[in-house]
Amino acid sequence: MHILLTNDDGYNAPGIQTLYRVLKSQTNHDISIVAPEGQRSATGHSITLFQPLFLTQYNLGGQQKGYAISGTPSDCVKLAIQGGLVATPDLIISGINLGPNLGTDVFYSGTVSAAMEGVLLGIPALAVSLTSFDFMDFEPAATYLAEQLDFIVQHNKDGLMNINIPGKPLAEWRGVKVTRLGKAVYENVFERRVDPHGRTYFWQCGKLTQDRESDTDLRAIQEDFISITPMHSDLTDFAGVESWQTIFDSDKG
């Protein structure tokens, strides 16, 4: 397989670099990297239309290339594939992200959006996150992924899998759960301050509350399981389409 790696923590982030090294040493796949030149967390699915995209090229050895891009994670995937930077990949892996991408927070996630962009372009994709902001040992997560890759790809022909791995030592992982996306609810989301000029401003922060539903990704991670969530790319509410067609037929017809 030819695998394209991307992320939202930036080209030089330890998560993607560890993943590259482990996949190179433990599998026979060809691997390219097209990733943002710097930190792009919480950029969601934004793309760059009104500024040009610059790139820095790295030689990864052999035929494979690495590119650091001045845009967003979704720009990277689009430019890699639609701009022809690399050969069309068989799989995209976005990550390994430092920090969780769970529940409704996937909408804000550059990591998940880059994987989603792959799926929109017809390429199966994995978004992979280590669910801690300070546990920096990506090696067990990368090794898990390398070991499971053929199994996952065999069953994921065209979709997006959102994988969150406990940000803890391997010995504390309790297994794997296939989950749905939970609802990420935060308390005290904004902190209000006044600057030395008297202007009010806000920091967006907040504390994630516990998810009480038993079958969600948020809950699986709370309980130290690896969470795997199959995702789709169609935001149409099909039941809504049907009922609105009825409403229009009866009220407007």
| Subset of residues 51 to 110 that bind a copy of itself, contact rule: CB under 8 A | 52-55, 74-75, 78-79, 82-83, 104, 106-108
120 binds a copy of itself (CB under 8 A): yes
Nearer to a copy of itself, 60 or 231 (CB): 231
Least distance (Å) between residue 34 CB and a copy of itself: 12
Q: What does DSSP say about strands 125-130 and 91-98: parallel, antiparallel, or unpaired?
A: parallel
8 A C-beta contact, residue 35 and residue 5 = yes
N- to C-terminal Cα separation, the chain: 54
Among 6, 43, 101, 111, binds a copy of itself (CB under 8 A): 43
DSSP character string of 60-115? -STT-EEEEESS-HHHHHHHHHHS-SSPPPSEEEEEEEES---GGGGGG-HHHHHH
Among 7, 97, 101, 113, binds a copy of itself (CB under 8 A): 113
Distances (CA, A) of 51 to 3, 73, 75, 178: 28, 15, 12, 40
9 binds a copy of itself (CB under 8 A): no
- What's the sign of the alpha-carbon dihedral 236, 157, 13, 172? positive
237 binds a copy of itself (CB under 8 A): yes
Least distance (Å) between residue 228 CB and a copy of itself: 7
12 binds a copy of itself (CB under 8 A): no
42 binds a copy of itself (CB under 8 A): yes
Nearer to a copy of itself, 78 or 219 (CB): 78
Instruction: Identify which range of 15-23, 90-98, 113-121, 138-146 contacts a copy of itself by CB under 8 A.
Output: 113-121
Amino acid at 198: G
Residues 6+ apart with CB under 8 A from 120: 233
50 binds a copy of itself (CB under 8 A): yes
Nearer to a copy of itself, 20 or 68 (CB): 68
Both structure tokens of 187: 């308390």
233 binds a copy of itself (CB under 8 A): yes
- Between CA 39 and CA 68 the distance in angstroms is 11
| Subset of residues 130 to 189 that bind a copy of itself, contact rule: CB under 8 A | 151, 155, 159-160, 176, 178-181, 186, 189
Among 133, 202, 212, 213, binds a copy of itself (CB under 8 A): 202
Return the closest-CA partner of residue 162 out of 225, 210, 111, 212.
111
Nearer to a copy of itself, 60 or 120 (CB): 120
